[in-house]
Amino acid sequence: QKEVEQNSGPLSVPEGAIASLNCTYSDRVSQSFFWYRQYSGKSPELIMSIYSNGDKEDGRFTAQLNKASQYVSLLIRDSQPSDSATYLCAVNGVSNFGNEKLTFGTGTRLTIIP
């Protein structure tokens, strides 16, 4: 089982609609969860972080966390063509050597259709 799993997509969403991206993780002791956006040919950039169960909203973005189900999601409201990118779920945890480690999923490629 992969540590962080995402549906690779592609996910196509009409402009103005809600895009829903999902992620599951395997390490129950993980405490910090992140969504990174990566445009084609560019490096990842952090767009959302969430640490406790429930919802966290930032502008058009809402991150949702359910630690019992080991599930993280990202909702993008009023999707814009500029939201077309790969969205990477990342989970913070502790490696076998006791070091903090950020593990990424494979990413979901999102396309917003004008």
Binding site for other proteins (CB under 8 A): 4, 6, 8, 31-32, 34, 42-46, 49, 51, 88, 90, 92-95, 97-107
Residue 4 or 112 having the CB closest to other proteins: 4
Those residues whose C-beta lies under 8 Å from the C-beta of residue 47, and which sit 6 or more positions away, are: 35, 36, 37, 58, 61
**32 in Cβ contact with 103 (< 8 Å):** no
Burial of residue 32 (CB within 10 Å: 0-12, 13-18, 19+) is middle
Residue 20 or 27 having the CB closest to other proteins: 27
Q: How far is the CB of 42 from other proteins (least distance, A)?
A: 7
Q: How far is the CB of 46 from other proteins (least distance, A)?
A: 5
Residue that has been written with the tokens 């084609």 in this structure: 40
Residue 1 or 100 having the CB closest to other proteins: 100
